Amino acid sequence: MKTGTTWLKALCYNILDEQEDDILASKNPHDAVPTLEIAFFQDQVQQLLLNPPPPAGRSRLLHTHFPYGYLPEKVRSSGCKLVYVSRNPKDTLEDLCRNPEEQVRKLASFLGRKTSVDVEKVLWRSNLNRLKELEIPNTIFFRTGTVGDWKNYLTSDIAQRLDDLTRDKLQGTALSFDDE
């Protein structure tokens, strides 16, 4: 979960899934929310995009690494919801770790589920420790999800250089990260 993508996929899936079944108990979040680039290399993009819409009560979720500006104009102007993962390059998603209930409510509101989402159920179903313990494939995507875990991997010199580079690259944007 170094980038937070696995956790974010699980959270979005569980926010938008109004069914009683717990699909992530048997399916990895990366399988539940397909990645366009992987579908492209497996010649499944047409199938993925042209399939009939999901049944009532479910939403279609897709993942991509494409920057916003590279998405087709049709996608950008379609009214679909785009969630962008931005994280401290040294670490995990701090805001989600510090106050997951509030962040899930914000995400649910953005995704159009203002009052109908059961935050505790979403957090339980998306819990990294729970997902790691399930017998599902590709659990290599799950790490600790612990803020500050970078200290176990980076020297203080490397961390400072990364902080400086990040500050320079993000100058003039609304993005900032805690220098924990």
* Catalytic-residue membership of 65: yes
Q: Furthest-apart CA pair in the chain: how many Å?
A: 52
* Cα 33–Cα 36–Cα 37 angle in degrees, nearest 5: 125
Of 56, 55, 57, nearest to 18 by C-alpha is 57
Q: What is the mean pLDDT of the segment spanning 155-175? A: 84
Place of tokens 């897709």: 62
Q: 123-154 pLDDT, tens per residue?
A: 999 887 787 777 665 555 555 556 777 788 78
Domain locations in the chain as residue ranges: 5-145
- Kindly report the pTM of this predicted structure: 0.71
Beta carbons of 55 and 45 less than 8 angstroms apart: no
Report the alpha-carbon distance of residue 12 to residue 33 in Å, rounded. 9
Q: What is residue 67's DSSP assignment?
A: -
Residue 107's pLDDT is 92
The residue from 37, 40, 49, 65 that is catalytic is 65
Q: What is the mean pLDDT of the segment spanning 8-36? A: 84
Write b or e for each residue in 30-65: b if 16 or more Cβ atoms lie within 10 A of its Cβ, otherwise e.
bebbbbbeebeeeeeeeebeeeeeeeeeebebebbe
Q: Tokens in use for 137?
A: 């494939």
Q: What is residue 52's DSSP assignment?
A: P
